[in-house]
Amino acid sequence: MTTAERPRHVTVAGRRVRHRIDGFGEPVVLLHGIGRSMRDFAAQHELLAERFRVHSVDLPGYGGSLPMVDPYNLPSLARFVGRYLDAVGVHRPAHLVGSSLGGAIAMQLAVTERHRVGSLALVGSAGFGREVSLALRLLTLRPLGRAMLLPSRATARRTELALFHDPAFATAERITYALEAARLPYTARVVLATARSLGQYQGVRQQWRQDLLARMAELDVPTLVVWGERDRVLPAAHIEAARAALPKARTHLFPDCGHLPQIERAEEFHRLLLDFWGVSVPTGGRPTTTTGPAPDAGS
């Protein structure tokens, strides 16, 4: 990674936020899930920056971003993304790619600030069903949830292993980073607040899911829904609920893949995004497009 490519910081609503911007073209915004960081999109950031203006951002209280003052609910998190886009000068519709919680945030932004969203790519997204991993359900219980987040290498390893079908992706580097993130003074508070706002022991709360999907169904926004067949966080059966709720959406199920296909199936995932956005990739060549969007140097 060159100096120009290293993550930097921007102030959003008075709080320091870590982000990374590379490339030129239509804006793409990559949104990670609960307890994660923009590192989950590192490979996609590199690939997409060859063709797009790519924004990776740590959500408030995750990775290198300080917590926000607002409550940790879906409207507040979507509002943060809108404020972030203003802070970095993105004033045209962006392609939002959201993983897990990031997918729900992307949908929420689409229904509340439609002008900001050019398309949605939802990756193992929250919002399509009640079922969620036992670990996330237990986080909603007091005081068990806080005890579960006590930093240890064993916990970090279990967390990383749960995200992938192929355990080889739970590398020592990823485990070490997860442990370092768990040791940040605000991590446990933010994860617990997010988990309890959106879920309970019985699973993902119904009210916000129903409201969000009802409003999404009224929108005309190009949408791609992607899942890993072996997802152990949010089950792949949710893709059927997505098809029912969003009948115009394109869907894709990756076989033998866990919760993070953007990592576990990086090249295939990248090609899927390009196809969804209408970018052709000649054999052995660089991506091209038939529409030729103008560079977005201002974003």
Higher pLDDT, 230 or 290: 230
* pLDDT confidence band for 299 (50 / 70 / 90): very low
pLDDT, average across residues 149-161: 98
| Segment 32-85, tens digit of pLDDT | 999 999 999 999 999 999 999 999 999 999 999 999 999 999 999 999 999 999
- Whether the model clears a pTM of 0.75, i.e. scores above it, the answer is yes
Distance CA 134, CA 10 (A): 35
* pLDDT confidence band for 4 (50 / 70 / 90): very low
pLDDT at 227 over 50: yes
| Segment 94-144, tens digit of pLDDT | 999 999 999 999 999 999 999 999 999 999 999 999 999 999 999 999 999
**Is domain 9-282 annotated with CATH 3.40.50.1820?**
yes
Q: What is the pLDDT of residue 171?
A: 98
pLDDT at 241 over 50: yes
pLDDT at 3 over 70: no
Does residue 242 contact residue 256 with C-beta atoms inside 8 Å?
A: no
Q: What is the pLDDT of residue 7?
A: 82
* pLDDT confidence band for 274 (50 / 70 / 90): very high
pLDDT at 290 over 80: no
Does residue 120 contact residue 220 with C-beta atoms inside 8 Å?
A: no
pLDDT, average across residues 266-286: 82
Residues whose CB is less than 8 angstroms from the CB of residue 12 and which lie 6 or more positions away in sequence, other chains included? 60, 80, 83, 84, 87
Distance CA 164, CA 158 (A): 11
DSSP string of the chain, one letter each residue: --GGGS-EEEEETTEEEEEEEE--SSEEEEE--TT--GGGGHHHHHHHTTTSEEEEEPPTTSTTSPPPSS-SSHHHHHHHHHHHHHHTT--S-EEEEEETHHHHHHHHHHHH-GGGEEEEEEES-TTS-S---HHHHHTTSTTHHHHHTS--HHHHHHHHHHH-SSGGGS-HHHHHHHHHHHTSTTHHHHHHHHHHHHEETTEE-HHHHHHHHHHHTT----EEEEEETT-SSS-TTHHHHHHHH-TTSEEEEETT--S-HHHHTHHHHHHHHHHHTTEE--TTS--EESS-PPP-TT-
Record the tokens describing residue 299, joined without a space.
């974003």
Distance CA 48, CA 238 (A): 27
Higher pLDDT, 117 or 293: 117
Record the tokens describing residue 292, joined without a space.
């030729």
Q: Write down the domain spans for the chain.
A: 9-282
Distance CA 39, CA 35 (A): 12
